[in-house]
Amino acid sequence: MSNPNILVICSDQHHPLMTGYRGHPHVKTPNLDALASEGTCFTRAYCNSPVCTPSRMSFITGKYTHQIDSWFIGCPLDPEESTWARRLHEAGIPSTMLGKMDFCGDYQDGGFTEHRIIERRAAFQPYPRGTPMDSRLNGYIRPDKRKHLEHAGIRENIVTDGHHGHDDRFGFYDHDRIVTGWAVDYLKRKGQKAERKPWALYVGLLYPHWPFTVPEKYFNLYDPDNLDMPHDASFPNDRLHPQLKHFQNALDLGDVSEETMRKTIAAYYGMITAMDDMIGRIVAELKAQGLYDDTYIVYMSDHGESLGEHGLFYKQCSYEGSVGVPLIVKGPGLPAGRRIDHPVTLVDLYPTVMEMAGLATEADRPGRSWLPLIQGREHERPDYAFSEYHGNFLKQSWYMLTDGDYKYTYYVFDRPSLFHVKEDPLEMNDLAGDARYASVLERFERRLRDIVDPEAADLRSKKDLGLIGKDGTDYTLTMSVTELERRIKLGEFPNEPGFPVWR
């Protein structure tokens, strides 16, 4: 087949090591394991910003988030920006989006030929913001994050329409059940067509994203009392970088009991297995329709989940569990059972899809196709992976580079961090304060500044999020949430929602 089909399955918040094919001692993922055995898995894959919208806008456009100003959830993408979905559509390859992609505001199709969405993401109104985004100010606390842990466990045994996913009673099981059904129906239609022309399908699942609730049969697969506890799970954790201490405080985690931790972990493992079952349904339908051998399949997640590691939950930070992602690529002509340790990022999805479709990638895309790596061909690929973050819970933007044996994170207005991830894979020993590594820090900062001006991008993000005053004051350095509330009451700032709300 000269132009195979393309299937991209993206889960949400899947820790990169929590699969059977990566050797996890507990998590059951037979369908992903089978896909990995028939394709290639990447052990050092990273998202380009560990939160939903920026990560997805990056991999759909093939650009870093600072190139498209996708700073955070609620920051809309420019509709004129090219996406691989639009490129395929314009080339005569119909592209379909089913489920979550997280475009913000009125622009929801992203260039896809057709799309179906359950959970729509709002954009900030107005945007750029006129009121500082409170979640990056001193003293901010979001209490619902702790409640998600306290309510973790078995979801209510009720069928919903999938619109109530953030409710701790239900989670996102019904969303994914419905989207999986859409995907199976789509493949049935494709299999029944007499003339088989190439197509592209994106399936956006929401598991294993919080709330940590899952049907009873999946929760019961994992006995909370017989699970390994996460490393460095201290609440609070005095060993954290100052910016991450602020992050931990903003999550209002307090003292998380071992019982709560174990119950949350069991639910999260169950969510992964439930998601794996849905992927199994999709792959089985590909095979039933005779499409499997002629289809490229990519499995990935938009970011990871800390799940108690370092005393943190959720994403947003540059630890491996948060910024790393699982990545499998299988397809016609690709080798089976390969494992690649070279660092890659999701920005590479754009040129990979272009190569799969026989199309050229624009020169302004920083990524490189994964196919030469998989096929053992010569390639022009950087030896580093880059990620960045400009969103909630952390006061300052950060930029991560992983290169060779080291991982470096640059925090605006704060000290960097440096880990020797080969010798210290759990990232327990921050080397940034050791004078012996001064030259390593200097090398990383030079490379970072070849990619982006970190202060300039940070300033643009803060201006768009209302965090820079008319006189140039940086409110992340000078303002507390209490002060912001006082000034809103005085009418100095409009009372804009701190988080975008769909209307």
Give residue-wise pLDDT tens across range 394-451: 999 999 999 989 999 999 999 999 999 999 999 999 999 999 999 999 999 999 999 9
Distances (CA, A) of 22 to 63, 138, 165, 277: 28, 39, 28, 18
Q: Residue 59: which CATH number? A: 3.40.720.10
User: Is residue 500 situated within a structural domain?
Assistant: no
Distance of alpha carbon 290 from alpha carbon 256, whole angstroms:
49
Instruction: Kindly report the pTM of this predicted structure.
Output: 0.96
| Terminal-to-terminal C-alpha distance of the chain | 45
CA triplet 178, 182, 186: central angle to 5 degrees?
A: 170
- C-alpha–C-alpha distance, residues 303 and 323, integer Å: 6
In the predicted model, residues of the chain with pLDDT beneath 50 are 1
Query: Considering Cα of 244, then 249, then 252, then 256, what sign does the dihedral take?
Result: positive
**DSSP conformation letters of 34-60:** HHHHHSEEESSEE-SSSSHHHHHHHHH
Domain ranges, residue 359: 5-397
Query: Phi-psi category of 491—alpha, beta or left, where left has phi over 0 and alpha has psi -120 to 50?
Result: left
473 found inside a domain: no
If you write DSSP's letter for every residue of 83-119 in order, what string do you get?
A: -HHHHHHHTT--EEEEE----BTT--STT-SEEE-SS
In angstroms, the CA 201 to CA 99 distance is 11
Look at residue 416 and tell me if it is in a domain: no
Q: Which residues pair with 386 in a beta bridge?
A: 401
**Is there a domain that residue 20 lies in?**
yes
Task: Report how many domains make up the chain.
Answer: 1
411 inside domain: no
With left for phi above 0 and alpha for psi between -120 and 50, is residue 173 left, alpha or beta? alpha
Take residue 7 and report the two structure tokens written for it: 């299937």
The residue among 320, 304, 318 whose CA lies nearest residue 15 is 304
Place of tokens 């690709």: 334
Q: What is the pLDDT of residue 1?
A: 44
Q: Assess if residue 495 is contained within a domain.
A: no
